[in-house]
A = this chain, B = another copy of it.
Amino acid sequence: MYRLAIIGFGVVGQGLAEILLKHKARLKKENGFEFSVVAVSDFVKGAAYDPKGLDLAKVLALAKENRISEYRGAKTGWNAIDTIVKSNADVVVEATFTDIKTAEPAYSHFKAALKSGKHLVTTNKGPTALFFREVAALAKSRKLQFRYEGTVASGTPALNLAGLCLAGNEIREIRGIVNGTTNFILTNMEKGKSYGEALKEAQDLGFAEAIPDADVEGFDAMAKVIILAKAVMGADIEVADVARTGITKITLDDINSAKAEGKRWKLIGRVAREGGAVRASVRPEKLDVADPLAGVGGATNALTFSTDLIRNVTIIGPGAGKIETGYAILVDLLAINRTAPAVKKAAPKKAAKRMKKIRKPAKKAKR
């Protein structure tokens, strides 16, 4: 039985809650996974904590009106750090907003979770991209799990595919379509729309933000490339190392002349071993239509892993969505359930003592 604390109750957190609520019996039967959600904390929607478990249907209903803090019978009003540190959770699910520049406040949540002895599962690209090594080392030193499948292509298995299904290979290159918004825009331009028209449609449909830079300038894809480089290739790649070009300068003429050559423009994130180094880039590339990535239209994501033993393996699937991204958290929880069986935790009354410890960490962490 795992006790979960969900930090950030936006689309992803709610998607997870909906899955957990609907499929509790199936997850127990098929996957041997038992859980209770003991805490939910959201900056806007409110927070509630019950060490014996919250009623997810009630939390979801209250969340719609930003009234989670009115949950009766629960401890309410805790902020994220209080919830992470003081709750009796075994696993912290971090699903707050991504800040690719500072990684905060999510990075503080990551550290608080691991330092208070809790496994960490996240979809948050900011701290995963910027501080991957630090977080992974902290988790390892505490013998805890840090899982982040949803940071690259929502629940489409990119990281688990590389880590489990392609184990034993040397992965030489990863290239893919890791931003659904720009792929949606480029796909629509192939239907004859200008960049401006295609962007506007993406904005109207909620795929793109009013200020669309994170997508169209390639920052979102860059974060994912950094995560792939660090997590899959163990490479020292930081923001400054990624050659990044967005799609804003692609014109309808470019699209059409590519089409005439039997090619297609795609925004490709790439990380590759070249000689002794690892190179990373995000840029529009003109792909041959025979390339499995060329056929990937709309908001779908796809990644091709080039390896020494099984050659090229391509995975294609959703890159966004409430349930799809909530599922990314679930698949990580199931991995923890397979590999780090739940153990009895200290009673909640000991939380104060734990919190003290966290503020003043032991000098030598056990390794």
Contacts and interface: CB of A to CB of B under 8 A. Distances in A.
B292 A310 contact: no
Nearest to A313: B317
Contact of A167 (B19, B31, B170, B316): B31
Interface of A: 19, 23, 26-27, 30-31, 33, 154-157, 160-161, 164-170, 289-290, 292, 294-297, 309-318, 321, 323-324, 326-327, 330-331, 334-335
B309 A330 contact: yes
Given A295-B292, A314-B316, A314-B317, A164 B160 contact: yes
A246 to B, nearest CB: 26
A315 B290 CA distance: 16
A165 B292 contact: no
A310 B317 contact: yes
A296 B295 CA distance: 10
Nearest to A292: B316
A310 B165 contact: no
A137 to B, nearest CB: 18
Contacts of A27: 168
Contact of A290 (B19, B295, B324): B295
A26 B156 contact: no
A165 to B, nearest CB: 3
A32 to B, nearest CB: 11
Contacts of A327: 168-169, 309-310
A34 to B, nearest CB: 13
A294 B294 CA distance: 12
Contacts of A323: 309
B167 A26 contact: no
A170 B331 CA distance: 13
A295 B292 CA distance: 7
A351 to B, nearest CB: 30
A165 B164 contact: yes
A164 B167 contact: no
Given A295-B290, A315-B314, A316-B314, A168 B309 contact: no
Contacts of A313: 156-157, 315-317
A154 to B, nearest CB: 8
A296 B292 CA distance: 7
Query: Of A19, A23, A165, A327, which is in contact with the most chain B CB atoms at under 10 Å from its CB?
Result: A165
A352 B27 CA distance: 45
B165 A160 contact: yes
Contacts of A312: 317-318
A289 B292 CA distance: 12
Contacts of A294: 295
Nearest to A312: B317
Contacts of A292: 292, 295-296, 316
Contacts of A166: 157, 331
A203 B179 CA distance: 42
A166 to B, nearest CB: 7
A221 to B, nearest CB: 20
Nearest to A327: B309
